[in-house]
């Protein structure tokens, strides 16, 4: 008989009841070091006092009104994001997929409004992940995810990642824009080359295309910049954000330059929960911390520290690992052995790691992780790797 909770996930048999910083405790009292952060989402770790207080206080005052009224917390959060980014305006929603849907609609509508309705197609990339709604699945393009869900939403053309010739070949008279993750998270922690990202900006400028940046996973400080595209010194036209922006509270956003933002006039788009007082209290509290003095510099330093450790691991276990890659506190180790074995061995040592495409182990600790905790995670990973390697040698 089917479980009451729909069994659409392959869940590990672990149940957590509380957390503090980078640590989680199970209902039966075991402690784990969390290097998954709820999939790069609990960016301030667990039980962060500033975030918990902001949510509790707002919940007691006012949780939800609709977008039929002004929401001061949303106005404030939008202004703070505008002040710190390329964007002129922000639309709030509840998830990454919803942010991408909003971004896609905004891009198409701007082309339509500027008299080019035939330009509705998007270039997206192999290995991408943009969400599980029908349009974002089409953008994702993974056949395994699309199978059995009816006709694929039209208008998404996939080309190989980090391949500018393939992009140029695909640009046509129906192309609206390009949607890209600066680092492919789900696809295997694969960073876009700096030059590739710059060339995408250039090709958009050359052909009048719109550059849409999916920073759902890479944004809000994950890579050591507030947004990862900053590393390439470029600006997108529109950008989707979610995961870390609410620190674990569901919140997503579309950030856009005025030219594109103004396409979504009243009646064209909306969402009931999006940007409600409670979500924006969480968003403002996260932003307080992430934009605090020295915070992002510390993420850069800790990211380098973690990367040095994963590089060493690849060097020490050539029969298990192929390479280390990533940016900031989003790091991956491409495995030779099945990544599930490495992940299970990590769990047995008390380290929660996650996986990603291309058989990659993904490490995305809370941004508040300490260097000592990173050292501990590397010790745990080394023990796990030693056991997996010993098992291989015995087999
Ligand atoms: C997780 C993710 C999404 C989807 O976000 P949801 O909140 O699960 O809908 C979209 N794009 C990227 C890059 C992601 O990592």
Q: Give the pairing of strands 31-34 and 351-352.
A: parallel
CATH topology of domain 49-290: 3.40.640
Is residue 335's pLDDT more than 90?
yes
How many whole angstroms from 131 Cα to the centroid of ligand 1? 5
- Tell me which residue of 322, 341, 325, 354 sits closest to 385, measured CA to CA: 341
Phi, psi dihedral angles at 121 (to 5 degrees): -95, 150
Residue bearing the CA closest to ligand 1, atom 5: 96
Express each pLDDT in 117-168 by its tens digit: 999 999 999 999 999 999 999 999 999 999 999 999 999 999 999 999 999 9
Cα–Cα distance for residue pair 282/286, rounded to 1 Å: 6
User: In a mutational test of the pocket of ligand 1, which residue from 182, 188, 217 has the highest number of ligand atoms less than 8 Å from its CB?
Assistant: 217
Closest ligand 1 atom to residue 217 Cα is 15
- In the structure, what pLDDT confidence band is assigned to residue 393 with cuts at 50, 70 and 90? confident
Q: Could you state, in order of their start, the residue ranges of all structural domains in the chain?
A: 16-34+294-394, 49-290
- Tell me which residue of 306, 362, 274 sits closest to 41, measured CA to CA: 362
Is residue 13's pLDDT more than 90?
yes
Q: What is the pLDDT of residue 12?
A: 94
Is residue 206's pLDDT more than 90?
yes
How many whole angstroms from 313 Cα to the centroid of ligand 1? 29
Mean pLDDT, residues 264-287 taken together: 98
Evaluate the CA torsion angle 50, 52, 55, 57 in order and state its sign: negative
Strand ranges for 13-146 from DSSP E:
16-20, 23-26, 31-34, 89-93, 121-125
- Which residues have CB under 6 Å of ligand 1? 95-97, 100, 129-131, 181, 185-186, 214, 216-217, 242-243
How many whole angstroms from 114 Cα to the centroid of ligand 1? 29
Cα–Cα distance for residue pair 367/377, rounded to 1 Å: 14
How many whole angstroms from 35 Cα to the centroid of ligand 1? 18
Q: What is the pLDDT of residue 395?
A: 76
Cβ count near 56 (within 10 Å): 11
In CATH, what is the architecture of 16-34+294-394? Answer: Alpha-Beta Complex (3.90)
Express each pLDDT in 247-266 by its tens digit: 999 999 999 999 999 999 99
Residue bearing the CA closest to ligand 1, atom 10: 130
Closest ligand 1 atom to residue 39 Cα is 1
How many whole angstroms from 97 Cα to the centroid of ligand 1? 6
Is residue 114's pLDDT more than 90?
yes
Cα–Cα distance for residue pair 275/262, rounded to 1 Å: 18
User: In a mutational test of the pocket of ligand 1, which residue from 104, 130, 222, 228 has the highest number of ligand atoms less than 8 Å from its CB?
Assistant: 130
Express each pLDDT in 165-179 by its tens digit: 999 999 999 999 999
Mean pLDDT, residues 203-209 taken together: 98
How far, in Å, are 94, 325, 351, 390 from residue 317 at the CA level? 41, 16, 18, 11
How many whole angstroms from 392 Cα to the centroid of ligand 1? 35
The residues, any chain, with a CB within 8 Å of residue 232's CB and separated by 6 or more, are 182, 192, 194, 197, 198, 201
């Amino acid at each position: 008989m089917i479980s009451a909770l729909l069994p659409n996930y392959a869940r590990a048999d672990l149940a957590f009841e509380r957390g503090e910083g980078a640590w989680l405790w199970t209902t039966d009292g075991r402690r784990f070091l969390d290097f998954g952060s709820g999939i790069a989402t609990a960016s301030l770790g667990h039980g962060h006092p500033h975030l918990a207080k902001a949510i509790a206080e707002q919940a007691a005052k006012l949780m939800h009104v609709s977008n039929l009224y002004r929401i001061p917390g949303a106005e404030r959060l939008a202004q703070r994001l505008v002040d710190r980014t390329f964007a002129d305006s922000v639309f709030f929603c509840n998830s990454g997929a919803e942010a991408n849907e909003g971004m896609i609609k905004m891009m198409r509508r701007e082309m339509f409004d500027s008299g080019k309705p035939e330009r509705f197609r998007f270039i997206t990339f192999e290995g991408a992940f943009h969400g599980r709604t029908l349009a974002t699945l089409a953008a994702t393009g993974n056949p395994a995810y699309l199978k059995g869900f009816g006709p694929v939403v039209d208008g998404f053309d996939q080309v190989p990642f980090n391949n500018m010739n393939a992009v140029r070949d695909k640009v046509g008279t129906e192309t609206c824009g390009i949607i890209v993750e600066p680092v492919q998270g789900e696809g295997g922690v694969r960073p876009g080359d700096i030059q590739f990202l710059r060339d995408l900006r250039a090709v958009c400028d050359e052909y009048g295309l719109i550059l849409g940046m999916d920073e759902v996973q890479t944004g809000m400080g994950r890579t050591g910049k507030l947004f990862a595209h900053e590393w390439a010194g470029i600006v997108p036209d529109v950008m989707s954000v979610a995961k870390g922006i609410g620190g674990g509270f569901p919140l997503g956003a579309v950030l856009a330059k005025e030219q594109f933002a103004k396409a979504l006039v009243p009646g064209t788009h909306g969402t009931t929960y999006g940007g409600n007082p409670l979500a924006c209290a969480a968003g403002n509290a996260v932003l307080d911390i992430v934009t605090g003095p020295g915070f992002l510099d510390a993420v850069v330093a800790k990211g380098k520290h973690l990367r040095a450790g994963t590089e060493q691991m690849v060097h020490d276990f050539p029969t298990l690992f192929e390479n280390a890659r990533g940016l900031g506190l989003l790091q991956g180790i491409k495995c030779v052995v099945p990544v599930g074995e490495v992940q299970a061995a990590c769990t047995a040592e008390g380290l929660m790691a996650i996986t990603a495409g291309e058989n990659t182990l993904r490490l995305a600790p809370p941004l508040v992780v300490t260097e000592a905790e990173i050292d501990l995670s590397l010790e745990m990973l080394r023990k796990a790797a030693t056991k997996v390697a010993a098992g291989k040698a015995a087999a």
